[in-house]
Structure 1
């Protein structure tokens, strides 16, 4: 897969999200959400879910897990996604033909 594939998949996922999501919560998640709501007193519970998504995203980026997953699936990193081009495209390394190591030093 490539940067274009990743971009297309993100756009498709984004288009599939409505302003509201319906999700099911298990018992442990309900308990944790109730405790957080009581302690943090947000204006609405949705705010806690938004914060949780932001925190998960930031942690995934900071630990390098996002880059690992993107490299495994799409052969790009988060920085490459943000810039819209791969490292090879940035440095011009994809402009040169590959070297034939067997014939490299033959005249």
Structure 2
């Protein structure tokens, strides 16, 4: 897969999300959410879910987990996704033909 494939899949996922997302909760998650809501007193429970998504995203970026999965599935990193260019495109490495080792030093 490639950077273009990643962009296409992100766009597809983004358009599938509505402003509201129904999520089923198991017992443990429901208990944790209830405790967080009681302790943090957000305006709405939705705010806690938004914060949780932000924290999970930041953690996966900081630990390299996101890059690992992107490299495994799409052969790009998060930085490459953000710039819209692969590392080879940024450095110009994809502009030159491959070297022929047998003829490299012949004139």
TM-score range for the pair, normalised by the shorter chain length: over 0.9
- Counterpart in 1 of 2:86? 86
Q: CA deviation at 1:101?
A: 2.9
Q: CA deviation at 1:98?
A: 1.1
**How many pairs were matched up?**
107
Matches of 1:73 and 1:103, distance apart in 2: 36
Query: What is the TM-score with the length of structure 1 in the denominator?
Result: 0.95
Moved over 6 A (4+): none
Please give the residue correspondences for 1:26-37 in structure 2 after superposition, counting only pairs within 5 Å: 26-37=26-37
- Counterpart in 1 of 2:13? 13
Q: Which runs of 5+ in 1 are unaligned?
A: none
- Counterpart in 1 of 2:101? 101
SS for the counterpart of 1:18 is coil
Query: What is the TM-score with the length of structure 2 in the denominator?
Result: 0.95
Please give the residue correspondences for 1:51-66 in structure 2 after superposition, counting only pairs within 5 Å: 51-66=51-66
Tell whether 2:14 aligns with 1:22. Answer: no
Matches of 1:64 and 1:103, distance apart in 2: 40
Q: Which runs of 5+ in 2 are unaligned?
A: none
Q: CA deviation at 1:103?
A: 4.1
Matches of 1:50 and 1:6, distance apart in 2: 23
